[in-house]
Amino acid sequence: MTSPEPPTSVRPVEYKGEPLDSERGPGLGCFRFQVGLLVVFIFLTPLTVIWNWPVEISIILLFATIVLLLFAGQTIIFLLRLVAADRREGRRVPLASGSKTVGQLEDVQPAATAGGSDDDENATPPAEPGVRE
C-alpha cells in the first residue's frame, strides 16, 4: 500500500531525537534578555580594570561573560532551528517571481519520472496560469 500523500524530500527538523516543537525551549524574550545582559557585561568587564576595581570582581565578570556567551549561542542555535522547522512545513513562493523555484522544480521531477515512458520525460510541463516563460 502507498500513502495518498506524495513523499517529501524534506525531513522534519529534530531536536533531542524528536520533531522540534516550537512551544518547548527558550523564546525570543529569553534571547533578548541574554543579549542585553551580555552587552552590559562586555562593556563593564574592561571598565572594571580601568577603574581599578578589585581583581575578584573583574574575574567574576569575565567568567560570567563567557558563560553568558555560551548560553546566548545555544539559544540562537535553537531559535534558528525553529525558523528552519517553520520554513520546512510548507513551501513559500516568492511573490514577484517569474520563474519556478528550485523546490517547485524538484516537486515536478519525481511526479514526471514516476509515471511514464521516455517521451514523457522529455516533454515540458504545462505553464501555470500567470507565469511567463
Q: Is 90 exceeded by the pLDDT of residue 110?
A: no
Residues 6+ apart with CB under 8 A from 125: 108, 112
For residue 55, which amino acid is it? V
* Per-residue confidence (pLDDT) for residue 39, from 0 to 100: 95
In this predicted model, which residue has the larger pLDDT, 87 or 53? 53
The helix (H) or strand (E) run that includes residue 41 is: helix 28-50
Q: Where do the domains of the chain lie?
A: 17-92
Residue 101: per-residue pLDDT = 76
pTM over 0.95: no
